[in-house]
Amino acid sequence: MTEYHPAKIEPKWEKKWEEQKLYQIATQQPRNTATKKFYDLVMFPYPSGNLHMGHVRNYAIGDVIARFKRMQGFSVLHPIGWDAFGLPAENAAIKNKSHPADWTAKCINQMTKQLKRLGISYDWSREVTTCKEDYYKWTQWIFLKFLGKELAYQKKAMVNWCPDCQTVLANEQVKEGKCWRCDSPVYEKALKQWFLKITDYAQRLLSDIEKLSGWPEPVKIMQRNWIGKSRGVEIKFGVAPFSSQVLNIYTTRPDTLFGVTYMVLAPEHPMVDKLTKGTKYEKAVQAFKEKVKHETLHEREESSGKEGVFTGAYAINPANNEEIPIWISDYVLMEYGTGAVMAVPAHDQRDFEFAKTHNLPIKVVIKDGNRDALPRACRGVQSQVSDNKAFIDEGIMVNSAQFNGQPSPDGLKNIGDWLVKKGVGTWKTNYKLRDWLISRQRYWGVPIPVIYCDKCGVVPVPEKDLPVKLPKNVRFTGKGSSPLAQVAEFVNTKCPKCRASAKRETDTMDTFICSSWYYYRYTDAQNKTQAFAKEKVDHFMPVDQYIGGIEHAILHLLYSRFFAKFLYDQKLVPTDEPFKNLLTQGMVIKDGAKMSKSKGNVVDPDDIIKKYGADTARLFILFAAPPQKELEWSDKGVEGCFRFLNRVWRLVTQIINCKPQATNPELTKKTHQTIKAVTEDIERFSFNTAIAKMMELTNELSRANDKDPEAIKALLILLSPFAPHITDELWNKLGNKKSIHQEPWISYDPALIKEDELTIVVQVNGRMRDTIKVSATAEKNAVICAAKASEKVKNFTSGKQIVKEIYVPNKLVNLVVK
C-alpha cells in the first residue's frame, strides 16, 4: 500500500486533463442529444501578481459547481480571464521603471501557473485578457455604439486634482484629502470628461431588480438604494427684487411648504452671482464660494457644521406669498435635484441645524398626531420641536391655510396637485444615480476612440480603423497631463471626415467598462471579426451562475446590468439581465481580521499547496464555512481535511487487491442516503455539510469489516468535484480507464434509503422523555399506544390525565397531561 503524496499525483493529473482537453466545451461528450448548457462564471481577477485565499475560495466554489453540472450532463461553460487594465500596473511601472504591459504579462503568467496548480477545470481556450488588442478593440466598438446612440457624451465635471503632481486622481487615491503620493491637499477641479448616460436606464435598472429571483436580497437592496428613486415636486419660487426671475427647488415634502422660512442654494448655483452682483453681500458670498471651491472633497464631506452666508435676496413662497431670505451653503449639492432647496427647519434635521446656527425662524406646520389628536391652533405646538431635533415624521397639518387638519400624507399629495393647478409646480421623479464618468487621465486603459478636428468637431474613429492602439513608447513619471498626451505620434492624426490634421482623445476608459461585457466575449473568445457571434451569445447567455465577492454588489454588477440592457436594446444579446443566479462569497479572514500584509496574517496558497496539496486546500476552504459567510482560516482545520483525504486514500488502496465481498445492507443504505444528501447540499451551495456527510460515510466504511466496492465508487464520485486529483488517482488505481471526471453523477435508489424501522420521539408536555422504535408502516394509534407503554413515559404520565395527543407522522408523539 502506497502513501498519499499529493505533490506526486496532483501535477500528473493536471497535465493529463490539459492534454485530453477535458474541460474544453467542444470536447465534452454530450451524454444525450439534447445537452443543456450551463454557464458557470467566476469574477475574473485583476492580475496583481499572486493568488490570495479569496481567489482560491471563489474558484473552488465555481469549480465544484462546474464539475457537478458537467457530471449531471450539462455542457458547462467555465471560463477564466484577466481584468488586466488599471492603475496598479502603471504605479508598478513608475516604481520599477518597467512597462505596464510587461509587468501585467508577468503577473498573468504567474497567476496562470497558480490557477492550474489548483486543478480548477477551466476552458483555457477561451481565456480573455482585457488589455490585449483583440479584446479592447471590441471595448472601443461598444463605446462607439453608445456614442452613436448619444449615450456617451462630454461635459465638465468635478474631479480630484493634485496641484503638485498636476494630475487627476481616482477617489481611492485620495487619502484623507491628500494625494497618496506627494501628500499635498487635493482639490476639486472642473474638467471636460466623457460620461455614459446610465441615468437613462435608471428606471429599468430599478424595476428589473424584481426579475432577479436568483440574487441575494441584500445585493438587490443595495442596488435599489444606490439608484435612489424619489418622488417629489419641483416648485417655482419667485425672486423678490427681480420679479421676472424664478428659482426652482425640488422637494419630496410638499406638505411642509407652509413651513418654509428660508431658501438655500448650492454655492455653485448659477443664480448666486446674479442675485449678489453689485450688492453689499457680494464680497462675503464670493469669499464663501471661494472657500468651498478650495475645500478638499474630504473637508466638504466631513464638515458637520452648517456654514453658509446670506445673499441679500429674497424668494417668494408661492403658497402664501411670504418673503423668505435666500442663503447659500455647502450642504446643498449642485448635482442633485435643482441645486436649490426650500428650507423647513421644523421638519428637516439639516435645515433645523442650519436655522439654529444662523438664527433663522422655525415654523411648525405638522403636528405629531400621536401626541394630541386635536390640532388645536398651534399653541403649544412649538414644544414638539425639541432643542436638537426636527419633527420629520408624518402627522397632522397645521398653519397651512386650507390644508389644516389633513393628515400630512394627504396634504403632501393635495399641496402638490394644488401647485400643479396653479402652474407653479410639477411632479418629478429624481434618482441619486448619476451618469458614469468614464474618462481617466491615465495610460494603462482603453483609449477612447475619438478624434478632435477643428472643422468637424468630435469625430468617432471609424469602425474599420479599430483598434485605436495604445502606443508602447511612453514615459511614466506619474506627473503632468495624461501620459498619452505626451506621445506626438499618438496624438497627431488626420480627421476621418475631412482628412485635415486633427488630435486624438488622450484619456482612457475606466476599467469597469472592460469588466462590464467580458462574459459575452467568453462565449466566442477567439472571434476575429466580431465582439461575439450572435448564435454563440444566444446559446450561452444568460450566465446561469455568477460567483464573486460581495464588494462588487453595486458598481460592477450595476454597470454590467446597464451594458446588458443597452446591448439588448441594440439586439446584440438575447436577454436584458446578464446574471440569472448570483452567489456572493464572504471574505477569508485570519485571527478575526482581513488578511493583509500590514497585519502579517496572510496565508499564501502556494505554501498550503506545497505542504498539503491543492485538494486539501480546496476542501478546507469549502468545509470551514458556508460560502456566503466570512471564513476564519485555521491551520489545524486544514490538517483535519488532510487527515480526511488520507483516510479516503487508505480506505480505497486497502481494497484494491481484495476480492469483492458481500454487500452489507446497512452500508448500502448509508451510501444511498449520502448520495442523496450530498447532491442536495451541492445544489443549495451547502458545501460544508456535503463534506461533513462524506466524512461520515468514510468513517463508517473504515469501521466496517467488509469493504463494499459500490460504496467506495459512490464516495469517490461524490468527492470528485471537491478533490479532483486524489479521486482521479484512486479511480485509476481501481482499474478504471477513463477519468472519473467523465463519469456521470451518481443517483440514489429511493427504495434503498427507506428505513423499515423508525425512531419516534416521545414527549410529555413538550419535553423529550423517550424514543421508541416502530415499524415504518405503523398506524397512528399503534404508535401512540407504544409511546404510552414506555416505562420512562409512564413515570411522567401516571396519576395524570392525558388531555391531548399530538402525532407528527414519522417523527414524534407529544402527550399533554394535566
- Grid cell at residue 609: 499547496
What distances in angstroms separate CA 608 from CA 120, 365, 392, 491, 648, one per listed residue? 16, 67, 56, 49, 20
Residue of 156, 472, 795, 802 that binds RNA (CB under 7 A): 795
Nearer to RNA among residue 474 and residue 555 (C-beta) = 555
Assess 157 for contact with RNA (CB under 7 A).
Answer: no
Q: Is the bond preceding 185 in cis, omega lying within 30 degrees of 0?
A: no
Positive or negative, the CA dihedral 390, 393, 396, 399 is: positive
Residue of 190, 333, 500, 785 that binds RNA (CB under 7 A): 333
Nearer to RNA among residue 226 and residue 568 (C-beta) = 226
d(CA 103, CA 90): 9
Residue of 145, 672, 713, 769 that binds RNA (CB under 7 A): 769
Assess 624 for contact with RNA (CB under 7 A).
Answer: yes
Are 64 and 48 within 8 A, CB to CB? no
Q: Is the bond preceding 467 in cis, omega lying within 30 degrees of 0?
A: yes
Residue 438 dihedral angles phi and psi, to the nearest 5°: -110, -5
Least distance to RNA, CB of residue 787, Å: 12
Nearer to RNA among residue 144 and residue 332 (C-beta) = 332
- Grid cell at residue 466: 479599430
The one segment of 45-53, 177-185, 337-345, 714-722 that binds RNA by CB under 7 A: 337-345
The one segment of 120-128, 442-450, 466-474, 673-681 that binds RNA by CB under 7 A: 673-681
Residue of 46, 288, 331, 649 that binds RNA (CB under 7 A): 331
Q: Are strands 187-196 and 152-162 parallel, antiparallel or unpaired?
A: antiparallel
Contact mark string toward RNA, 570..609, x via CB under 7 A? ----------------------------------------
In this structure, how many other beta carbons lie within 10 angstroms of the beta carbon of residue 375? 19
Assess 339 for contact with RNA (CB under 7 A).
Answer: yes
Assess 794 for contact with RNA (CB under 7 A).
Answer: no
Measure CA of the first residue to CA of the last residue in the chain; give whole Å. Answer: 65
Contact mark string toward RNA, 233..252, x via CB under 7 A? -----------------xxx
Are 442 and 167 within 8 A, CB to CB? no
Write the DSSP string, 486-553.
Answer: G-HHHHEEE-TTT--EEEE---EE-HHHHTTSHHHHGGGTT-SSSSS-HHHHHHHPSBSEEEEEGGGT
Residues with Cβ within 8 Å of 772's Cβ and at least 6 positions away in sequence, in order, are: 759, 760, 762, 783, 786, 787, 790
Residue of 298, 350, 497, 611 that binds RNA (CB under 7 A): 350
Nearer to RNA among residue 499 and residue 703 (C-beta) = 703
Nearer to RNA among residue 393 and residue 749 (C-beta) = 393
From edge to edge, which strands make up the β-sheet containing 593-594? 593-594, 588-590, 631-632
Least distance to RNA, CB of residue 631, Å: 7
Least distance to RNA, CB of residue 760, Å: 9
Assess 432 for contact with RNA (CB under 7 A).
Answer: yes
Assess 342 for contact with RNA (CB under 7 A).
Answer: yes
Interacting positions 495-514 with RNA (CB under 7 A):
none
Cβ burial 183-210 (10 Å sphere, 16+ → b, else e)? eebbbbeeeebbbbbbbbbbeebbeebe
Residue of 190, 221, 500, 789 that binds RNA (CB under 7 A): 221
Least distance to RNA, CB of residue 812, Å: 5
Residue of 142, 332, 543, 608 that binds RNA (CB under 7 A): 332
Residue of 113, 629, 754, 773 that binds RNA (CB under 7 A): 629
Positive or negative, the CA dihedral 441, 444, 446, 450 is: positive
Nearer to RNA among residue 126 and residue 590 (C-beta) = 590
The one segment of 164-172, 546-554, 710-718, 728-736 that binds RNA by CB under 7 A: 546-554
Residue of 53, 92, 179, 266 that binds RNA (CB under 7 A): 266
Q: Which residues pair with 626 in a beta bridge?
A: none
d(CA 71, CA 65): 10
Interacting positions 39-58 with RNA (CB under 7 A):
none
Count the residues of the shown chain that bind RNA, applying the rule CB under 7 A. 87
Assess 689 for contact with RNA (CB under 7 A).
Answer: yes
Nearer to RNA among residue 312 and residue 626 (C-beta) = 626
Residues with Cβ within 8 Å of 513's Cβ and at least 6 positions away in sequence, in order, are: 139, 142, 143, 438, 446, 559
